[in-house]
Homo-oligomer: A and B are copies of this chain.
């Protein structure tokens, strides 16, 4: 979107006022991360998003990536923007100093990553994938591997990828076939084809470091026989210098609905030299470290699209005049009123705003929890943060991306027919963000992860930890009548959430199909309730600011209004979800396969 504005004010509200990142940073020992450093970084990040990334978003979509005999060329301006990003030091912002990073908190880097994605989803995927590669090497690579690969990755002159998917296995990685044969020198020869590899080949960096899932010759079948390897495009000396080309090549790129400027590659490994990361056959476990952050990151891509769609729709709704207000002329000097006067346009705008801001609060909360797991010295605090992340990660991934489908669709709908035309940028947002409910684990996969693995797998304990936090908060609001309607609604949802969980657990004990039948509706229910908690928190914080005489009364009053809208018109969607969950699995499983298509 050409006119994207980084939501600095709202991100500051969430991180500084709502979640008190400053105190949090102090606790974790980031003494140098003072508020003025944060605002300075925000300001620079906003400029980069608005002035460097947004202007090449539509042109990047139009031009797309080009493949020619294994060489991938990104659209005009992508390379220059990446160079600027590297020069700005953004690639190593949250990476360790020993490898050249700036050792700033993960949450700080992640909260502004939203803006890069909001300005240009495709472009932001290149550095995004690099982060995944770096995290994996940092968490599981040997010291030698770290020394060999990390400095250039952190510097940004090299980029990275994550190579998981194969043609016959996406969600079900247990079926993967890519093979790794040991060489005499301790390295491995990798052979196989990976598909859907984002940033798998491009012209932004001097080398590309692939993290690859493959099987050793003696590996057990299924997920317990998968190992992790690092496989560079160009071989690298122990000193970290680029050598000859490795047998890794891009066979083609996909033609997609959106994120056309992000190269989605078929990568062929033809006896490519790679190095084992971590223990043999434990690759999937290593992968989960990366996956949690990647899933939050994907959720944030959805959030970014919601914000951008809201901005675009709001601009048009204030500008476009059509019909008079139902309650009388609002703009007598114009032949019609701006369409923002119409209740249904407001319904769409408020839905976008409620999701953009509510989802931002949830995702920034999760980033704060990630900080704790990464940096805290307090074992108990780390465990609690881990528990909360285990519960919330699938919710963030799925809920923020599912709601982005709605918000970007409204972005078009507010524009009417004009929303369908490329020049306004609204349709690109919808196309780009459509991938987010599918990659990094579909919504269905997240839902099973949440319900079966996390909630029921912990016998409800993971749910209880988070619910207790919410109950503690609503308890504090007892005796504050201005919040009682929302507090009561939230409390009754907490009761219902736990009851639903118990009921599903019981019915699933007798019939495992009940899990799959309830999972997505349960996840969406969980998302609506979780974001209601953050809306209530924001409303309370806004009321406090107003009570303390804050000058930005529009900003804070909007929080209270939007909270009211959320509780009235969004949280109430749980009514239908409960009905669907309680209807059980028979209405799904009673259909024989032949009945689906009798012709």
Contact = CB atoms under 8 A, between A and B. Distances in A.
Interface of A: 5, 7-9, 165, 168-172, 175, 196, 254-258, 311, 314, 318, 321-323, 326-327, 335-336, 340, 342-347, 349-350, 353, 405, 409, 412-413, 416-423, 427, 430-431, 434-435, 437-439, 442-444, 447-448, 511-513, 515-517, 519-520, 552, 554-555, 557-558, 561-562, 564-565, 568-569, 572-580, 583, 585, 587-599
Given A256-B427, A327-B511, A555-B599, 20 more contacts: A5-B599, A7-B599, A8-B599, A172-B322, A255-B421, A318-B593, A340-B593, A342-B444, A344-B444, A346-B591, A350-B587, A353-B596, A412-B438, A416-B438, A419-B438, A554-B592, A554-B594, A555-B598, A558-B596, A561-B587
Given A346-B588, A512-B327, A596-B314, A256 B421 contact: yes
Contact of A431 (B418, B431, B564): B431
Q: Kindly list the 9 A-B residue pairs having the minimum CB-CB distance in the complex, ordered from nearest.
A: A343-B516, A572-B579, A575-B575, A257-B427, A555-B598, A568-B583, A558-B595, A326-B512, A554-B598
A413 B437 contact: yes
A314 B596 CA distance: 8
Contacts of A439: 417
B9 A588 contact: no
Determine chain A's interface SS by DSSP, over half rule: helix
A447 B344 contact: yes
A262 to B, nearest CB: 11
28 contacts: A172-B323, A175-B322, A175-B336, A196-B417, A256-B427, A257-B412, A257-B430, A318-B593, A343-B516, A343-B519, A344-B517, A344-B520, A345-B444, A346-B589, A350-B587, A353-B596, A412-B434, A416-B438, A417-B438, A420-B435, A427-B434, A554-B595, A564-B587, A564-B590, A568-B579, A575-B575, A576-B576, A576-B577
Contacts of A353: 596
A346 B586 CA distance: 11
Contacts of A342: 444, 516
A357 to B, nearest CB: 12
A434 B416 contact: no
B554 A519 contact: no
A574 to B, nearest CB: 8
A146 B520 CA distance: 56
Contact of A443 (B326, B413, B557, B558): B413
B599 A583 contact: no
A254 B421 contact: yes
Contacts of A412: 257, 434, 438
Nearest to A437: B413
Contacts of A8: 599
Contacts of A256: 420-422, 427
A413 B431 contact: no
A349 B597 CA distance: 11
B583 A576 contact: no
Contacts of A594: 554
A409 B405 CA distance: 9
Nearest to A572: B579
Contacts of A314: 596-597
A516 B554 CA distance: 24
A594 to B, nearest CB: 5
Contacts of A592: 554
Contacts of A573: 576
A579 B583 contact: no
A434 to B, nearest CB: 7
A416 B344 contact: no
Nearest to A556: B598
Given A336-B175, A583-B572, A596-B353, A257 B347 contact: no
A170 B416 contact: yes
Contacts of A405: 409
Contact of A575 (B555, B562, B576): B576
B598 A9 contact: yes
A309 to B, nearest CB: 14
Nearest to A578: B575
Which of A170, A326, A568, A594 gathers the greatest number of chain B CB atoms within 10 Å? A326
Given A335-B175, A343-B513, A343-B516, A170 B417 contact: yes
Nearest to A511: B327
A342 to B, nearest CB: 6
A466 B517 CA distance: 35
A420 to B, nearest CB: 5
Given A5-B599, A442-B413, A347 B515 contact: no
A577 B569 CA distance: 9
